[in-house]
Chains A and B, each alone.
Chain A
């Protein structure tokens, strides 16, 4: 009988501001290459953002790209790349047994803003409002576009989880495999947020939008001069399978998911709560039957905001303070905050450690904020270790959603 509980990652499909597949992404993380660039968006003007440069027509024709959304295109690209990477052929799959679980921070803002902008040019005569508005803005749009493009007939929907959403997609996919509802899960998260001016403007109003004369230095978690978030787009969908199924077909296994947790602060719309964050980490550790000192890499959520980085550092210190061997890094320093994609992308960027034993660094820390000076922080240059066996990946979001995922090197 199949061991339903053990879930593994067998494929990775991604687009990030600094790479359009796992190999390129990992290489740039190890080489210290940022993907943040100068960016212009209406009403906000000149700012910085993480922009993806994947080939949109690799898996969609131009009509499909036009009909759908950016989040849809990112999802379609990631889904194809993930299945290819997993060595799974669409023709050989029972398409009714493939589930698609896409985490999103938000969806619909891009299209709504565009339509309002367009109709404003016609004095708000709503006969000029697009019939595409509803299908583009429904919350399942990105997952739905994957099913339309790949002909998948299994369950497909999105999980709204603010900036924890990428982890939520992964957790949902794993759980559906554990329940036996699907045999393959495409799971992770996506973001098209750089195409909505509202997200930039809202962070700016909150005093939390990054600015820097050099865009590649704008995202600087833990640095004393950090001044806010770099908004980025991106996507990462993992191919998940039950371990027995993966072993039976001789699949390459990147990692096994051994623990996860999601909890809520119940304390504020935007301010994090270190106590609940620490609780989330401990919950994941408990489910993985691990102690803090058993974790080799903690990939922090830190978004380069003044308070957020301090509070998360406090939470990580509370859990891992007595485990100085734990290495700590941050991926947003390279790619900015990819919102709904962040949890999945940042986990993907660390998977290579299981093979090469290297912990990718956190870049752009010129002067470490003492409040963020965690003992195992890997700063500036990658760290070669004697081997990495476990990774804990953190993603938190507004309204106080916390998530933690633990993966281990495949046995």
Chain B
């Protein structure tokens, strides 16, 4: 997965968790929680879905690295480099 695909993977997961939100206009540098309604339970859902869909483990001390789409790509990129993006949501 390249950087764009990692971002797509995260957005696919957020689409499932927050289906009422418009994600096309997200600014990748800004904190997700400042742009869409996501609470701590939702972040745990993102972590869970990364684990279920891609086998990626995100330890609790790293949760803050999922704050924005850019920081997700920075943090998850190396972990997901050898994993294929799963189609759709």
- Interface hits, A106-137 → B, CB 8 Å: 122, 127-128, 130-132
The yes or no answer to B51 lying at the interface (CB within 8 A) is: yes
Q: Please state if A132 and B41 are interface contacts (CB–CB under 8 Å).
A: yes
A63-B37, A67-B41 are known contacts. Are A128 and B19 too (CB-CB below 8 A)?
no
Query: What interface size band does chain A fall in?
Result: 10 to 19
Instruction: Report whether A131 and B20 are in contact in the complex, using a CB–CB cutoff of 8 Å.
Output: no
- B17 pairs with A66, CB closer than 8 A: yes
Dominant SS at the A interface?
A: helix
Chain B interface mostly:
helix
| Interface set, chain B 60-84, CB cutoff 8 A to A | none
Q: Does A206 contact B (CB under 8 A)?
A: no
Please, which residue of chain A has its CB at the minimum distance from the CB of B40? A131
For B17, the chain A residues whose CB sits under 8 A away are: 63, 66
Note all chain B residues with C-beta closer than 8 A to A128: 48, 51-52
Q: Are B20 and A61 in contact (CB under 8 A)?
A: yes
Hey, which chain A residues are within 8 Å of B16, CB to CB? Answer: 66
B19 touches A131 (CB 8 A): no
| Least distance between B43 CB and chain A CB atoms (Å) | 10
A62 within 8 A of B: yes
Q: When the two chains form the complex, which single residue of B19, B44, B51, B52 contacts A63, counting CB atoms closer than 8 Å?
A: B19
When C-beta atoms are compared, the residue in chain A nearest to B38 turns out to be A63
Docked pose: A66 CA to B37 CA in angstroms = 14
In the complex, how many angstroms separate the beta carbon of A55 from the nearest chain B beta carbon? 15
* CB-contact partner of B19 in A62, A122, A127, under 8 A: A62
B37 to chain A, nearest CB (A): 7
Which residue on B lies nearest to A129, using beta carbons? B48
State whether B51 touches A131 (Cβ < 8 A).
no
Chain B, Cβ-Cβ closest to A118 = B52
- B12 CB, min distance to chain A CBs, angstroms: 15
Q: Are B44 and A62 in contact (CB under 8 A)?
A: no
Shortest beta-carbon distance, A269 to chain B, in Å? 38
Inter-chain contact B18/A131, CB cutoff 8 Å: no
Q: What's the least CB distance linking A27 to chain B, in Å?
A: 34
B19 neighbours in A (Cβ, 8 Å):
62-63, 66
Residue numbers in A under 8 Å from B52 (CB-CB): 122, 128
B-contact bits for A62-102, CB 8 A (1 contact / 0 none) = 11001100000000000000000000000000000000000
Contacts of A63 in B (CB 8 A): 17-21, 37
Interface membership of chain B positions 19-63, coded 1 if the CB is closer than 8 angstroms to chain A and 0 otherwise: 111000000000000000100010011001001100000000000
Q: Are B48 and A131 in contact (CB under 8 A)?
A: yes
Closest to B37 in A: A63
Bound CA span A122–B57, Å: 14
Return chain B residues, CB-CB under 8 Å to A127: 51
Q: List 25 A-B contacts (CB under 8 A).
A: A61-B20, A62-B19, A62-B20, A63-B17, A63-B18, A63-B19, A63-B20, A63-B21, A63-B37, A66-B16, A66-B17, A66-B19, A67-B41, A122-B52, A127-B51, A128-B48, A128-B51, A128-B52, A130-B48, A131-B41, A131-B44, A131-B45, A131-B48, A132-B41, A132-B45
A-B pairs, 10 with minimum CB distance:
A62-B19, A61-B20, A131-B44, A63-B20, A62-B20, A63-B18, A63-B19, A131-B41, A128-B52, A128-B51
